[in-house]
Amino acid sequence: MDIKINLRSPEAKIRYKPSVMQELKWAWPQYLSLLLIFYWIF
């Protein structure tokens, strides 16, 4: 069975500005991972 679907939707502009807490929520794991790598290397 083959099903082909062609969907067309208009282009939409989505504006999103995260809060400081949301930025920090994603920043600290990245910071810790880099810190662990540099700690392991040096």
Amino acid at the residue 36: L
Q: Is 27 helix (H, G, I), strand (E, B) or coil?
A: helix
pLDDT tens string 1-42: 899 999 999 999 999 999 999 999 999 999 999 999 999 998
Q: Cα separations (Å) of 11 from 2, 8, 14, 29?
A: 28, 9, 10, 33
Single-letter amino acid code for the residue at 6: N
pLDDT of residue 6: 93
